[in-house]
Amino acid sequence: MNTKEELLKILSLKLRTILGKLILDFELLQEIRLRMNAPLLIVYANRECFVTEDAVIVDNPKKAVIVTKNEIRETMEYISNYSLYAFEEEIRQGFITINGGHRIGLAGKVIMEEDAVKGMKHISFINIRLAHQVKGCADPVIPYLVHKQVDGIYHTLIISPPRCGKTTLLRDIIRQLSNGSGYLEGMSVGVVDERSEIGACYMGTPQNELGIRTDVLDCCPKAKGMLMLIRSMSPRVIAVDEIGSKEELDAIDYVIGCGCKLIATVHGSSIEDIQNKPTLGELVKKRLFERYIILSNRKGIGHLDEIYDADGKRLYAGKEDNPV
């Protein structure tokens, strides 16, 4: 089943018909936004646009088809195969991953129990984020991550603003480390995929290719997951996405102390930006990370700007055309 078929089958019949008529490359489609009583919006080739009832892409929201309450309800029925109860745990986390690795973000009335989210009802907002794997996008960075003297890799932090390709790059680094490449032999990699964005697991199986030596803890809190992997799977490398909490940083200290290598991502624009953050700044000061990869959208989404070592020495300066 191709990307177009995977997406259309979860939409209401009316939206399925409209989007099915669109003349576009579904591999460049990034998001479909359904908001009750609001225009149908898509993100295509890094640009927001709207869709009319006649399946025409426009910039004017007033010309777009309006998503109704019934279309939200019908779409949720197709997403959950008419059994929202079966997806209670996923809904509590705010998203459902479907076949193909596409992630369905949900928002509505949150039900609280003491300090914990118990569930969600009156779902009125749906964000369908399409899974796109870019194999080979880590080719430019792999040579800088390999530590030849110890037959391993350097502790690495990927720094990137939102929607600049950090998870895509992390995913391909994991794949190449796991499978091995011309720079190093394959090694065991443990992935803590708290939001199912790296592996995009569906019923326990990663929909994205993460390599033959990779083990995944799906929907697991990063701090707990890192410790679980160390104790149970003996990875040589642990990979996590979007670190930031004090608990996660304590777990990183433990992982590094156990001799396991770490690859992580964080929201930011530079090393200086990370240094100014209360908890993350301590990791930089301790020089726990040995490589810093900086991404930006300065010359297009996912541009590889720079790579630095632990001392702040620049090892790589971005070229004109190297999108992740």
Q: Would you list the domain boundaries of the chain?
A: 3-129, 142-317
Q: Are 15 and 40 in contact, with CB atoms under 8 Å apart?
A: yes
Statement: 3-129 belongs to CATH 3.30.450: yes
* Sheet strands side by side (includes 314-317): 214-218, 189-193, 237-240, 261-267, 156-160, 291-296, 303-309, 314-317
Q: Supply the mean pLDDT for the chain.
A: 91
What is the tens place of the pLDDT at every residue in 82-132? 888 888 888 988 999 888 889 999 999 999 988 888 889 999 999 999 988
pLDDT at 17 > cutoff 90: yes
Highest mean pLDDT among 22-26, 133-137, 220-224: 220-224
Backbone Cα Rg of the chain: 21
pLDDT at 322 > cutoff 60: no
Mean pLDDT over 129-142 rounds to 91
Burial of 282-315, coded b for 16+ CB within 10 Å and e otherwise, reads ebbeeebbbbbbbbbbeeebbbbbbbbeeeeeee
Q: Is the pTM of this model over 0.95?
A: no
pLDDT at 235 > cutoff 60: yes
pLDDT at 16 > cutoff 80: yes
For the chain, percent of residues with pLDDT exceeding 90: 69
- Determine how β-strand 156-160 pairs with β-strand 261-267: parallel
Q: How many residues does the chain have?
A: 324
Q: Which residue has the tokens 């794949």?
A: 175
Looking at residue 107, its amino acid is: A
For residue 41, which phi and psi values (nearest 5 degrees)? -120, 140
What is the tens place of the pLDDT at every residue in 242-270? 998 999 999 999 999 999 999 999 999 99
Domain 142-317 maps to which CATH number in 3.90.1260.10, 3.40.50.880, 3.40.50.300, 3.55.40.20?
A: 3.40.50.300
What is the predicted pLDDT for the residue at 1?
Answer: 62
Residue 76 tokens read as 């949720």
